A and B are shown apart, each in its own frame.
Chain A
């Protein structure tokens, strides 16, 4: 599948944004994070900023973005529509929570309730994003039980590493928060490795035989219907990254998981001012690594239409 940068950035940014929002909502709500003005402003600003930037970016790959409002209508059948509804609905409790925290300087009472509701909204929205991909049968690498948990795990992972960096930056960090983000990064690493392993062993029942209805033997593409690449091949027949998959996987392991783990372990051991710098570095490196991960998620996915072209 062609990895459109607008979509790669969208899912990575909103994943991190919703992960951060959910953790802020829960942890501030239960009083684990102080109701500090600047901490609230910066962290809620970052969470909502990532979400808004991601959602705006997603409209970038639409053919007719001026009609995007129509996408809220078909939530009964479409995961994309559900994602649209959930993402906008989540802004309501998130906005109230942010105002309560930043303007009123409190994270208790009704503010805590809106924080928890924002967290629920965040989890629902990320789940709908994951289901858009997990529900697509023609792409075996996506239509698997690994896809939905991956979106939730990576959202929690990037969100927790961001939150740890923020808390460290405001000198209200804790060993527990470092350990939590470290643990989630390890879980994410393990999940990605398990996904690659699963995809490597995938036995796809759809073949050139079933695609053409020609039973038995081999079906070899003799001639395409057209001489140049058409929409199908440009959108669904993307092959560049598959060639470099092994290298890209190493880059992902290094940037998204190994380096953040190393930096967070060091941050766990070293005191201020090292811990905040290392935590911030971990967040930035991991975000870049996750952009590569999402890019490869698209590029490695093989659509059944490529069978018609002998690819």
Chain B
């Protein structure tokens, strides 16, 4: 059913720290690697070694330059499904292929029911859904539903592949419906925000804005650099002799 659940027991999602993300793309490749064999497999690549590379990815990392009166900075910005509370991508689906789970709030697609009308991708303001032209159905992030409940994995590995891969711990996974969970407290502490709140989709995933610029510059200046090329002549000889 594409009608939304009135209540979800949990609100599983991600918290992404824009302060610590270094834009290394590890989460992107880890996501692709896991999911091309996972719940929504395959993540088809079209012409992967040619001039018109295209393919399905659930997670894409942009880089932006954010300039304010405090100065400018580079912000790396991972973009994936936000598992919204009121996802219009689900309600517009004419076939019932798209659904939001009442148990944990994860938004999924039943690939066997999808007719590939693409309307859900039009309804998503965030560009979270990507069409697989090879299979003819829509695909999207599953929040690694086949990892987080997977008893075959060690308990510490039962997190989405992107979270497991992040070398700077910029990605956090948990229940955002529980105000006492670590992710909820992180959001409260760091002032986590919704993307495009004016759209009214109530995304579950939160983004932690970069920390404010510090006014304290480093107080210890580095010593002046030595010339790389050795000096010639008498003084150079003295320098070499005394350096030994």
Show the binding face of A for B, using Cβ within 8 Å: 1, 61-65, 67-68, 70-74, 76-81, 84, 132, 135-139, 205-206, 208, 210-232, 235-236, 303-305, 308-309
Contacts and interface: CB of A to CB of B under 8 A. Distances in A.
A63 B3 contact: no
A213 B209 CA distance: 7
Given A222-B63, A230-B130, A214 B195 contact: no
A80 B57 CA distance: 26
A289 to B, nearest CB: 25
B202 to A, nearest CB: 13
B131 A235 contact: yes
7 contacts: A212-B75, A213-B18, A213-B193, A214-B75, A225-B79, A303-B125, A308-B62
Given A78-B92, A210-B196, A217 B116 contact: no
Contacts of A215: 193, 209
Interface string B182-216: 00000000000111111111000001011000000
Contact of A305 (B52, B93, B94, B127): B127
A227 B117 CA distance: 26
B124 to A, nearest CB: 7
B96 A74 contact: yes
Nearest to A232: B127
A138 B115 contact: no
Contact of B194 (A79, A213, A222): A213
A73 B96 contact: yes
B218 to A, nearest CB: 25
Contact of A62 (B93, B115, B121): B115
Contact of B136 (A63, A74, A81, A219): A63
A303 B91 CA distance: 18
Interface in B107-147: 113-119, 121-127, 130-133, 135-138
Contacts of A224: 62
Contacts of B137: 63-64
Interface residues on B, range: 35 or more
B74 interface: yes
B127 A308 contact: yes
Contacts of B200: 137
Given A139-B122, A213-B209, A304-B199, A71 B117 contact: yes
A74 B95 contact: yes
Contacts of A225: 25, 28, 57, 60-62, 79
Given A68-B115, A77-B90, A227-B53, 11 more contacts: A76-B2, A84-B94, A135-B88, A206-B196, A212-B66, A213-B18, A219-B64, A219-B65, A231-B133, A232-B121, A303-B125
Contacts of B116: 62-64
B34 interface: no
B56 interface: yes
Most chain B CB neighbours (cut-off 10 Å) among A64, A79, A213, A236: A213
B205 to A, nearest CB: 10
Most chain B CB neighbours (cut-off 10 Å) among A135, A136, A137, A225: A225
Nearest to B68: A217
Contacts of B118: 61, 63, 235
Contacts of A65: 115
A81 B194 CA distance: 30
Interface string B51-93: 0111111001111111111000011010100000000101111
